[in-house]
Structure 1
Amino acid sequence: MTRNLKEQILKTASELFYSQGIKATGVDAIVKAAGTTKMTLYKYYPSKEDLVIAYLRRRDVDFTQWFVAQIDDRAAHPRDKLVAIFDVIGEWMQKPEFRGCAFINASAEFPLEDNPVHRVSAEFYDKFRGYIAELARSADAAHPDALAQQLALLFAGAIVSEQMKQNSDAIVTARAAAEILIDLALRGHPELSR
């Protein structure tokens, strides 16, 4: 029962943090929605910051597993996997519950780089760029780290654009730009190293 209650608190907080924002979601709202008490919440999560970090870490694991599985289901060749990143994100953006990227949102709410919430968000994007760089290396792209940075920027930009204006088609533009960058990198174009 204890494990279930801890999970219920985290699940409830996660839904509220993502849909309403971290700072806009108070502990009172979380305990009410979870059907528990503050004392119980603080037993498992000594502070709201601890709960926020648990939310982001869980989001990292869940999103990464889902995302990689989606990419692997769509493509076998690393070049095609790089392009599929934008297809998967495009479909995610069409879901009614889409509210942007939890990590971008969290870092916007906690902009100071030494803040633990900001650091967890930055760690997610470092790992995400690492995943893209590994795909780029597997595809024999010139300058895989530079390509990963460029594709991650397109990815994040498309997410923010869609969050600001739904049905913006930003992901279509980002995908087209990504294909150009990927193809140039696979041909060993020197400009991509900058």
Structure 2
Amino acid sequence: MLQYKTVLYCSIERENITASHSSARQRLLETASDLFYRKGIRSIGVDTIAEQSGVGKPTLYRHFSTKDKLISAYLEEENCLHWQWFEEAIAPLQESAKAQLLALIDATTQILTKPGYRGCAFLNALAEFSEEDHPAHRQAIEYKHALRLRLYQLSQQAGARDPDALADQLLLVINGALASAPLFGSSGPSAQLTTIAPYLVDFQL
């Protein structure tokens, strides 16, 4: 499947990144990723990233010629981490696509309760970059389309009467939970994810 290949590729890349964990590029990316996620992409400048990473600006620009390049690298990293998390969440339940869907919902709920959670990195990027030709906008859109495709594949494998509809419904409630948790906390509307999503799955099956 397309997404499985993506995860495998990203896992290989992660191994390479770990091997060079102390490199200037990785320090820059780790610092930028932390700041972009916690404080917003547009609010963080390259001066702040260089200062907090301990890497000089000439070195920063040698690895990332523009801030947009650094933003793209941040979202690529988020994409890889997400698909690694996705496959790990469903891997123990290969015998049942329905169980995989429910396990994904449970795993999503766990993310919402983590300290420092401030929303989906891709939804946040879409909120900051409305320009359709901006790399961050395109990467966020591609990620959400890929997630919708993966939900469709699992829905189809589970035997849903209308896998397209189930994929749309699950994506809608997942995105709603991801967006609601930073506003109302994990005990707010996002807590309904574990009630609504299993109902939708059972209704289709």
Query: Do they fold alike, i.e. is TM over 0.5?
Result: yes
Of all paired residues, the percent bearing the same amino acid is 37
Q: Which moved more, 1:63-72 or 1:4-13?
A: 63-72
Alignment of 1:31-46 (within 5 A): 31-46=50-65
User: For residue 73 of structure 1, what is the aligned residue in structure 2?
Assistant: 92
Question: TM-score scaled by structure 1?
Answer: 0.89
For 2:23, what is the secondary structure of its paired residue? helix
> 1:59: Cα distance to partner?
0.6
Residues 117-167 of structure 1 deviation map (CA, whole Å, 9 limit, x = unaligned) = 111001111111111111111101122122111101100001111011213
> 1:97: Cα distance to partner?
2.1
Q: Would you say 1:171 and 2:190 are equivalent positions?
A: yes
Aligned partner (choices 122, 126, 146) of residue 165 of structure 2: 146
Counterpart amino acid of residue 99 in structure 1: R
Residues 77-113 of structure 1 deviation map (CA, whole Å, 9 limit, x = unaligned) = 1112112222111111111121110000001000222
Q: Which moved more, 1:21-30 or 1:77-86?
A: 77-86
Alpha-carbon distance in structure 1 between the residues aligned to 2:50 and 2:182? 28
Counterpart amino acid of residue 101 in structure 1: C
User: For residue 83 of structure 1, what is the aligned residue in structure 2?
Assistant: 102
Aligned partner (choices 168, 173, 179) of residue 160 of structure 1: 179
Alpha-carbon distance in structure 2 between the residues aligned to 1:46 and 1:100? 28
User: For residue 190 of structure 1, what is the aligned residue in structure 2?
Assistant: none
> 1:3: Cα distance to partner?
7.8
Q: Would you say 1:11 and 2:30 are equivalent positions?
A: yes
Number of residue-to-residue matches in the alignment: 186
User: 2:21, 2:27 within 8 Å by CA — same for their partners in 1?
Assistant: no
Gaps of 5+ in 1: 187-194
Question: TM-score scaled by structure 2?
Answer: 0.85
Residues 51-100 of structure 1 deviation map (CA, whole Å, 9 limit, x = unaligned) = 00110011101111012202323674111211222211111111112111
Alignment of 1:15-164 (within 5 A): 15-73=34-92, 76-164=95-183
Summarize the Cα distance change of 1:75–1:34 in structure 2 as closer, same or farther, 3 Å threshold: same
Provide the alpha-carbon RMSD of the alignment. 1.8
Alpha-carbon distance in structure 2 between the residues aligned to 1:77 and 1:172? 25
User: 1:79, 1:135 within 8 Å by CA — same for their partners in 2?
Assistant: yes
Alpha-carbon distance in structure 2 between the residues aligned to 1:18 and 1:3? 21
Q: Which moved more, 1:2-11 or 1:175-184?
A: 2-11
Summarize the Cα distance change of 1:74–1:29 in structure 2 as closer, same or farther, 3 Å threshold: farther
Alpha-carbon distance in structure 2 between the residues aligned to 1:165 and 1:35? 36
Alpha-carbon distance in structure 1 between the residues aligned to 2:106 and 2:183? 19
